[in-house]
Amino acid sequence: MPVTPSQLMQWKQTGRPIAALTAWDYTFARLLDAAGVDVILVGDSLAMVALGHLNTLPLTLDEVLHHARAVGRGVRQSLLVCDLPFMTYQESAEQALRSAGRVLKETPMQAVKLEGGHPAAIGAVAKMVQAGIPVMGHVGLTPQSVHRLGYRQQGRKPVDADRILQEAIALEEAGAFSIVLEHIPAELAEQISRKLSIPTIGIGAGPHCDGQVLVTADLLGLSERHPPFSRQYANLQEIVTQAVQAYCTDVRIGKFP
């Protein structure tokens, strides 16, 4: 059975951890889906891993729609979630609704994700949820605010930890079906995960979240740089380099074809 937002909520209740990964094209999406990943996120990190930008800010809605369509073609089971890029939802709740509407109408994505838990973001979440769009929140380190926050761990000071907790609560109250907790102390992530009835999906937030997400390029060893909290499960960079070098050598010495 395909994974749905309500399935994630049930898994939280039964204590079944959620495994999420990012994808940016058909081939990886097909492999992740066949391998049994619960949630595939067309994250705006694709700006860096697929498009070579320095951060996520330059990504446009049309670009993410293009990648989301390709990812969708490869997926049968996993829940498909798509990031709303920088400045496609920050202006107003109406702008957020228009952007999310395009994602759901023009791609096979089933839900959208947006960053932040400030009042404007909460208003946007409520508006999208009222329109029937499942929304995933994202608090803690929010990479679209890199020029304000950097890539530092968030929520170390009690006042910041309390603000992040309140943001998570407000997102749940606005109707979000789950929340990404990025790069916050494990104790804070545990506190938020206990407090909320919707699942938390951690990245650099310790072991007590209801699920985990990684950028697939980091997990596979394809990234040029990766955050200290990610884990590399394979070194595809090395495997690809060796395969390509072997092919070049074979062509040059007449061993292939």
CA dist., res. 105 & res. 97, Å (int): 12
The least distance separating ligand KIV from the CB of residue 249, rounded to whole angstroms, comes to: 36
Helix (H) or strand (E) holding 168: helix 158-174
Residue 220 interacts with ligand KIV (CB under 6 A)?
no
Residue number with CB closer to ligand KIV (66 or 245): 66
Work out which of 21, 122, 215, 220 binds ligand KIV, going by CB under 6 A.
215
Sign of the C-alpha dihedral, residues 82, 132, 123, 87?
positive
Ranges of beta strands (E only) in 96-151 are 111-113, 135-140
Residue 210 interacts with ligand KIV (CB under 6 A)?
no
Residue 81 interacts with ligand KIV (CB under 6 A)?
no
Q: What are residue 200's DSSP bridge partners? A: 179
Please pick, among 115, 172, 182, 190, the residue that the annotation labels catalytic: 182
Residue 199 interacts with ligand KIV (CB under 6 A)?
no
> What residue number has its CB nearest to ligand KIV?
43
Tokens describing residue 244? 């390509």
Residue 84 interacts with ligand KIV (CB under 6 A)?
no
The least distance separating ligand KIV from the CB of residue 204, rounded to whole angstroms, comes to: 9
Positions 173 through 192 that interact with ligand KIV (CB under 6 A): 180
Helix, strand, coil in percent for the chain, rounding step 5: 45, 15, 40
CA dist., res. 10 & res. 28, Å (int): 27
Q: Please indicate whether residue 182 is annotated as part of the active site.
A: yes
The residues that touch ligand KIV, with contacts defined as CB under 6 A, are: 22, 41, 43-45, 83, 180, 203, 213, 215
